């Protein structure tokens, strides 16, 4: 075998391998996460009617940030302490993430669509559902 300077080499002088050898990572199973008490936070489905009402007040189309601001005004005193905590991943606040998932589900149900990135608007079915919800 040739060494770095082109001379013959028989491996590392200490007898260790030339390339570093790292131990194989072992799989360490994580413990199960404790289930949250359903009474301690607002369920995702509870955001459906407030999203419809907020979007109706905003003219049927708004940005994600605008919708979340309007929801916070409407739901401010109804949100629990756990709703206001950061998610375990640390990427968002629990109630905001639940509202965004509900908005996604509403889009799957055909009530909302995104005319452009970060914007949400009613479909015809969404307008009808919002009017029904607002009258109740």
81-121 per-position pLDDT tens digit: 999 999 888 889 999 999 999 999 999 999 999 999 999 99
Two tokens at 25? 């990572």
CATH label of the domain that carries residue 75 = 1.10.10.10
- Asked if 57 and 112 touch (Cβ cutoff 8 Å), the reply is no
Is residue 131 one of the residues assigned to a domain?
Answer: yes
> Which range (22-31, 88-97, 126-135) has the least confidence?
22-31
- The dihedral over CA atoms of 37, 43, 44, 49, expressed in degrees to the nearest 10, equals 180
pLDDT band (50, 70, 90) for residue 136: confident
Full-model pTM = 0.70
131: containing domain: 40-135
45-85: per-residue pLDDT in tens?
A: 999 999 999 999 999 999 999 999 999 999 989 999 999 99
Q: What pLDDT sits at residue 35?
A: 64
Is residue 83 one of the residues assigned to a domain?
Answer: yes
Domain count, the chain: 1
């Amino acid at each position: 075998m040739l060494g770095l300077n082109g001379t013959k080499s028989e491996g590392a002088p200490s007898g260790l391998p030339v390339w570093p050898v790292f131990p194989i990572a072992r799989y360490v199973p994580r413990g199960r996460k404790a289930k949250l008490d359903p009474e301690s936070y607002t369920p995702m489905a509870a955001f459906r009617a407030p999203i419809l009402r907020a979007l109706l007040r905003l003219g049927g189309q708004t940005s994600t940030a605008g919708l979340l601001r309007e929801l916070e005004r409407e739901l401010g005193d109804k949100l629990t302490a756990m709703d206001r905590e950061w998610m375990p991943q640390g990427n968002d606040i629990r109630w905001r993430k639940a509202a965004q998932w509900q908005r996604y589900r509403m889009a799957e149900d055909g009530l909302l669509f995104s005319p452009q990135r970060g914007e949400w608007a009613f479909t015809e079915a969404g307008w009808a559902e919002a009017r029904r919800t607002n009258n109740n």
